[in-house]
Amino acid sequence: MSAAPAPERPAPRASNLGYWLSDALADVPDRVALIDLSHPNPREVTYAELDERMDRVASLLSEAGIGIGDRFALGVGNRFEFIEIMFGGMRCGAVPVPLNVKLPAESLAHIVADAGCRAAFIETDVTERSASVIEELAIARRWDVGGAPGPAAARPGWLDYERTLAAAASRFDPPPLAPGHPAFQPYTSGSTGKPKGVVLSHEGQLWWVRCLRRYWPSDPGDRALVAVPLYHKNAMAGAVKPLLQAGGSVVILPGFAPEPFLRALSEHRCTQVGAVPAVFAILLDHMELVRDLGFPALRRVTLGSAPVQPELMDAVESAFGVEVRESYGLTEGGPVMLGPPVDGRPVPRGSCGAAWPEGEIRLVRDGVEDPDYGELWVRNPGVTSGYHNLPEVNEARIRDGWLGTGDLFFRDPEGFFHFRGRTDDMFNSGGENIYPKEVEDLLLSHPDVLDAAVVPVPHALKGAVPAAVVRVSSGSGLTAESLKRYALEEGSAYAHPRRVLVVDEMPLTGVGKVDRAAILDRLTGA
């Protein structure tokens, strides 16, 4: 009896995440895909140019001996080259390792060594730390991205990226990749230890892109503004992937500052923008400019990647006059597994949505599935196959394809999920469980509070008590003592912050999230 024929594998391009924008390329090759504002004059990149440059990246790597399964470090700021290197590298089967260039040198060295990177693309003018790490680890194949043009532009010992790219072949035929082949390997922020490598496959990420297209398609006329780092899920999953598969465009800011952000949002007629909550908490203190500019094309604001307070969403909706959504995702979890229901039901305030139609979700409380409350566990094709070189973490967090997210959720009777905080954020104060987000929501209900972060500080009798750092409206006379009294009057006595520190700026991490470790240091005098 003859053996059954092996199942037919998809064509190499169809199963490679590096080609996720192929349909848009075929439909609108001359349309502008990217508008890069990191240059003195905006740099516009069409779909056809982006595709050719991604092919050149694949050729450049292949010609340098970097191919299937080889990792390479990607330490580039917010500029269009990040996108072409990231996805162009995938085309030859190499695995980009995006770097949070604001991490300390020790963490960067751990990431590059742990991943076993054989090459590097670094914007040396922006991240001296990353460049030094690459040099100290003696990675020979290294390209300097974004330097001034000229024969001596590149850092000594580095190849000039733009000149070598121009010399690489402009067409590339991708190799077939085995099932489960990694597409890229981002690293977690490392806030609770060394950063962990998250292995994400081509087929899993393409599943997610197809779900977007099927259930929540972007319009070809959509234009998104990105100011959060391109190495972060908020930018890639919220703007780059959904819009560029649909023929839309993405405006890239080199970083966040209130005035450039608001001017870009208005002048480039962006239809949508997503960011971490801290970005919009800062923008609310620039209401005169918000009113002066106007945003006639803007239709939607999305807040996510950190706890989102309903009070902030209400304030942003009032300021910009558009729909404000809360998003939730996890790099290793799909990355997004909750969203607006496909039946069109409106998402209630305080919820980030219902379960995606093609994924599985359950809540686990004290080791047992609970229909209403618990840690979110998810299973879908986009879930990571495992953390790189960390079998003990995989054993604890991944079981039969289910990933424990470490995030606590409440599910309401209509099936909508409400984020309640991290399992490791909750702390016990004199026998009472306190969730920082609930105290932050209370503080933000005061009309003068723009942003708030709550952390536990040591207490002789209770073990730990809540303390808060807050940012208030310009010209507000709100004091720390009056805010403590407000919290006592409006909330539970055991949960009111025993210390409040009013600051001009909230400490933020490299991806714009509130830096709780820095806040704890300030509140405890460390």
List, in order, residues 6 or more apart from 140 with CB less than 8 Å away: none
365 vs 507: CA distance, rounded Å: 32
Amino acid identity of residue 210, one-letter, is: R
Structural tokens at position 194: 């060394």
Look at residues 57, 164, 69 and name the one whose alpha carbon lies nearest to residue 118.
69
Domains of the chain (ranges, CATH numbers): 47-177 (3.40.50.980), 218-327 (3.40.50.980), 429-524 (3.30.300.30)
Ordered DSSP codes for 473-510 = -TT----HHHHHHHHHHHS-GGGS-SEEEE-SS--B-T
Structural tokens at position 224: 């998104």
Contact 67, 90 (CB under 8 A): no
pTM above 0.75, yes or no: yes
- CA 522 → CA 192, 458, 514, 519, distances in Å? 18, 13, 13, 5
Helix (H, G, I), strand (E, B) or coil at 161: helix
Helix (H, G, I), strand (E, B) or coil at 36: strand
Determine the pLDDT at residue 316: 93
- CA 159 → CA 121, 140, 146, 164, 227, distances in Å? 9, 10, 11, 7, 28
Phi, psi of 476 (to 5 degrees): -70, 140
- Please count the CA atoms within 13 angstroms of the CA of 510 that sit on its side-chain side: 17
- Ramachandran sector of residue 386 (left: φ over 0; alpha: ψ -120 to 50; beta: rest): left
Per residue, the 3-state secondary structure of 327-361, as one string, reads CCCCCCECCCCEECCCCCCCCCCCCCEEECCCCEE
List, in order, residues 6 or more apart from 305 with CB less than 8 Å away: 228, 232, 233, 234, 276, 327, 329, 511, 512, 513
Q: What is the pLDDT along the chain (526 residues), one digit of tens a residue?
A: 455 555 566 789 999 999 999 999 999 999 999 999 998 899 999 999 999 999 999 999 999 999 999 999 999 999 999 999 999 999 999 999 999 998 889 999 999 999 999 999 999 999 999 999 999 999 999 999 987 665 556 788 999 999 999 999 999 999 999 999 999 999 986 445 689 999 999 999 999 999 999 998 999 999 999 998 999 888 999 999 999 999 999 999 999 999 999 999 999 999 999 988 888 888 998 999 999 999 999 999 999 877 777 888 999 999 999 999 999 988 999 888 999 999 989 999 989 999 988 999 999 998 999 999 999 999 999 999 999 999 999 999 999 999 999 899 999 999 999 988 777 777 777 667 777 888 888 898 898 998 888 888 887 767 788 899 999 988 888 999 999 999 888 887 877 899 999 998 888 776 667 788 888 888 887 4
Strand ranges in 47-190 using DSSP code E only, listed in sequence order: 71-75, 95-98, 119-122, 141-144, 159-160, 182-184
Structural tokens at position 338: 């909750």
> Strands 95-98 and 43-46, how do they pair?
unpaired
